[in-house]
Structure 1
Amino acid sequence: MVAADITDPQAVFTDPVAGAILDLGEPVVIVLAGVLHCVDDPIAVAGHYMRAAAPGSFLVVCDYVTENDILRARIEALMAATAPSWRVRRARDVDDILRGTAVLRPGAGDVAHWRPDRTPLRSITGMPPSLSLYGAVARISRSKYAGLYLCWPHSRSSR
């Protein structure tokens, strides 16, 4: 275990424990599960780790999401006493973290659906139906054109 601030990737990468087990020249799996709800800017944090990762690396994300604004506000208010930056996001917020990656099957969604043969987490924990753990596994794209859309003219006659 590395005792460092997840929002400070340099501190994580220079930690002696991380240095002993990580070779960032080789593909790695970056697991951001159970932590993103404590991060104010998950896109920036995930971006730092993805840029440091070698080609062939993967990103795993999982975060609490709800589209219910009232439930989001209630949970954040309840958690404010212990974790002031605790956030419940929308699914599109997690999708934004995954932008520029190749999301693998079964795709981004409620992780309880990944293993339909198992008892859903919400039935064990009493988690409300409108709150889910939304996640994905993705291959990190190393192309400089990832996310870049090029538009070509329909005709070359304008040259």
Structure 2
Amino acid sequence: MTDPRLQFDVPHAARIWNYWMGGKDNYAADRTAGDAVAEVYPDIVTMAAQSRQFLIRTVTHLAGDVGVDQYLDIGTGLPTMENTHEVAQRLVPGSRIVYVDNDPLVLVHARALLVNTTPEGVTWYLDADYHRPEVIMADARNVLNLNRPVSVMFMGVLGYVGDFDEVRSIVSRVMEAVPSGSYLTMWDGTDTGAAVAEGADKLIETGAAPYHLRSPAQLLECFEGLEVLEPGMVPITEWRPKGTPTPIDAYGAVARKP
């Protein structure tokens, strides 16, 4: 039986992002919405691609340079390009990764595609809502050792939460549940340009879920009490880039829990 939450004629956030990233797991409604946003804000396609590059660079640093071997990726989205477990397990073969999402289409693809890349690694998926951090952490405990450092990831997903106080609450409640030495990696779209704001308005017009742009200063509030790594809260293209970065209306940071 088809999950009633799967509405193929209504634009859907994960599928729209999949379209912007060049994926094939999307439908006409998603492509129409994606094109409408891109028409007024062409940089959204660049943002989508660069968001995955930010993920790759941050996980590469945490796994390769720091040695973190546990990851909690909350708001996974549809698998595309290189995913968290592929980066982490390539560098630390025994890495354990828990993906979290509550979207039925994401769940189907995750079960099929998000599988271990090493014999000793563990890749798991939780069908859970990030509005319920305590449920997530209780389930994640079945895979992750919460007495050891965990890298918590919110990659471009908290913009779908309308109340910023709730955003801060979600992040803080998850970080309270992980031990000292854990990390928070987070990015979101920002209100740093007129065109990106027009794109957010256009998204609403298409019938898709609204995405709430925040200021870089607001996003930095989510890292309160944590030790933010260099270069701080910056456009995601400027977080330890390999080449010359292009400015973008999406900011992110990585921080360590002392």
The verdict on a shared fold, with TM-score over 0.5 as the criterion, is yes
Aligned partner of 1:137 in structure 2 is 254
Structure 1: 5+ residue stretches without partners:
123-128, 142-159
TM-score (norm 2): 0.45
Runs of 5+ consecutive residues of structure 2 not aligned to the other structure: 1-124
Quote the offset at 1:115 in angstroms: 4.3
RCO higher in 1 or 2 (8 Å CA, sep ≥ 6)? 1
**Relative to total residues, which structure has the larger helix share, 1 or 2?**
2
Identity over aligned pairs, percent: 31
- The one-character-per-residue Cα deviations of 1:32-53 (angstroms, maximum 9, x if unpaired) are 1121211233211111111111
- Give RMSD over aligned pairs: 2.1
Distance 1:13 1:116, change over 3 A: closer
Structure (1 or 2) with the larger CA radius of gyration: 1
Q: Give, in angstroms, the shift of residue 73 of structure 1.
A: 4.1
Q: Which of the residues 142, 157, 171 maps onto 1:46? A: 171
- Superposition deviation, residue 72 in structure 1: 5.3
For each residue in 1:13-32, what CA deviation from the matched residue of structure 2 results, as whole angstroms up to 9, or x when unmatched? 233xx233112222111111
Q: In the alignment, which residue of structure 1 is the partner of 2:217?
A: 92
Q: CA deviation at 1:78?
A: 2.2
Please tell me whether residue 33 in structure 1 is matched to residue 155 in structure 2: yes
Q: What SS does the aligned partner of 2:227 have?
A: strand
Partner of 1:11: 135
SS at 1:2's partner residue? strand
Q: Measure, in 2, the Cα distance between the counterparts of 1:103 and 1:115.
A: 14
Q: CA deviation at 1:119?
A: 6.9
Distance in 2, Cα, partners of 1:118 & 1:107: 18
TM value normalised by structure 1: 0.71
1:83 aligned partner:
209
